[in-house]
Chains A and B, each alone.
Chain A
Amino acid sequence: MSENHTVTTAEADIEEDLLVEEVSIDGMCGVY
């Protein structure tokens, strides 16, 4: 999984009961 890849809404719907989810550390608004 690349750093920028996170679970998209569509995927999350299917895999709703995933026990582990990876999140991009860049995946939230930080500095410019």
Chain B
Amino acid sequence: MKLVEHFQHGLDAPICLTWELTYACNLSCVHCLSSSGRRDPRELSTEECKAVVDELQRLQVFYVNIGGGEPTVRSDFWEIVEYAVDHQVGVKFSTNGVRITPERARWLAESDYVDVQLSLDGATPEVNDPVRGDGSFDTTMTAMRNLRDAGFTGFKISVVMTRHNIGQLDEFKRIADEFDAQLRITRLRPSGRGADTWDELHPLPEQQLELYDWLVAHGEDVLTGDSFFHLNALGSTPLPGLNLCGAGRVVCLIDPVGDVYACPFAIHEEFRGGNVRDEGGFTGVWRGSDLFSRLREPQTGGACSSCSAFDSCQGGCMAAKFFTGLPLDGPDPECVKGNGERALELVGAGAPKPTPDKDHSRTGKKKQTGVPVAIGWGPPEPERLPDRACDTSPLAGMPAPREVR
């Protein structure tokens, strides 16, 4: 039996576990998958995080992707990372670089089992900053220089592909090579604040081919999180990867308050299987929740089953369909055969589509549509005292680590 077929029935524990440690973030990227900004006061405590690590160790989850929000703004972040690697749980964490000082870069270069992924959505500030915020390009480049100067090689540079940066693919590759880093490009999904900006950001149909051709030519040295399997229908060369939506089968998300979702791009009540604080813990959710069991049942291809590309495309991404209001057993909104666009027209004419229901955007950033937008960030203004616990500054209760100026 092929490995993918085994995977379809689910595993005893996930392979690709994403763990978001906080919804707090110094940035407010317009496509943020978790609508991050403000810290959620119900966030798992240090002790609870360590208990999650203990459980992952028991389950032999050897590796986690830590994200956020900006995970490094948690004052106990490095403590949690150290605890994880000391308990046979390797870490790759995703950051915008704000806390990667020269000193921290040296620490990282010395630790085994810790990998760093820096987010960059444009090869120039002109393309990056409208999406990630003013000054964010420089922040990330500084972090990358600090890592290089500390001798940390092979860190990941992670780019979300949009219609504005597909033309920069070669430039991204050049930057990665220059830093002895590895380029990772992934698909933009209409999740979180991305639901509001997807229409204006997602690659245009003709750019999909450009992307596919580039991947066929460079696929061997570029990571993709296997996120472009919906492009397989474009040619006869299948992109490397499993070509499988792993949601709830091999993939899942633990969010900052302990909620367990089928996939990091599916933060919505529909896809919440339970909480690590529940009686059976994470294991109970992964092995016993109705949602996860349902996702492991054989799925029907629906309108896609007659498509010649179904084997390698599988109807695309569940989260992308959900947040664009498409049926989960039909074509992906970016179906390269054009079936998604036709389906989207029907949605436009009909019922309202689901909107992300877990918004941690900072006040005023919520209904942000339109790219580019000017996004400022900095310390909280003292005169704007929060009226609710949830409304505090993202950095509230988090003393700045010593190494920050």
A contact residues vs B (CB 8 Å cutoff): 2-10, 12-13, 16, 21, 23-32
Contacts and interface: CB of A to CB of B under 8 A. Distances in A.
Contacts of A27: 16, 225-226, 240-242
Interface string B297-334: 00000000000000110000100000000000000000
Contact of B67 (A3, A8, A13, A31): A31
Nearest to A5: B240
B260 interface: no
Which DSSP category, helix, strand, loop or mixed, fits chain A's interface?
A: loop
Given A9-B312, A28-B15, A32-B119, A4 B222 contact: yes
Given A5-B220, A9-B311, A31 B65 contact: yes
Contacts of A26: 184, 223-226
Interface stretch (B106-114, B196-204, B243-251, B386-394): B243-251
Nearest to B117: A31
Contact of A29 (B219, B221, B223, B264): B264
B251 A28 contact: yes
B8 interface: no
Nearest to B191: A32
Nearest to A4: B223
A16 B240 CA distance: 16
Contacts of A31: 18, 20, 33, 65, 67, 94, 117, 158, 264
Contacts of B4: 9, 12
Contacts of B16: 25, 27-30
Interface of B: 1-4, 15-16, 18, 20, 31, 33, 63, 65, 67, 94, 117, 119, 158, 160, 182, 184, 186, 219-227, 238-243, 245-247, 250-251, 263-265, 311-312, 317
A7 B7 CA distance: 14
A16 B6 CA distance: 13
Nearest to B94: A31
B18 A8 contact: no
A32 to B, nearest CB: 5
5 contacts: A8-B240, A27-B226, A29-B247, A32-B31, A32-B186
Contacts of A13: 2
B2 A28 contact: no
Contacts, number: 102
Nearest to B121: A32
Given A2-B221, A27-B226, A30-B18, A9 B263 contact: no
Contacts of B251: 28-30
Given A24-B241, A27-B225, A32-B186, 7 more contacts: A4-B219, A8-B239, A8-B243, A25-B16, A27-B16, A29-B317, A30-B264
B243, B245, B317: residue with the most chain A Cβ atoms closer than 10 Å: B243
A4 B94 contact: no
A8 B1 CA distance: 14
A17 to B, nearest CB: 9
Nearest to B29: A32
Given A4-B240, A32-B158, A25 B63 contact: yes
Contacts of A9: 4, 238, 243, 311-312
Contacts of B263: 29
A9 B240 CA distance: 8
A6, A8, A24, A29: residue with the most chain B Cβ atoms closer than 10 Å: A29
B385 to A, nearest CB: 33
A24 B171 CA distance: 25
Contacts of A2: 220-221
Contacts of B2: 12-13, 16
A7 B271 CA distance: 29
Nearest to A1: B220
A5 to B, nearest CB: 5
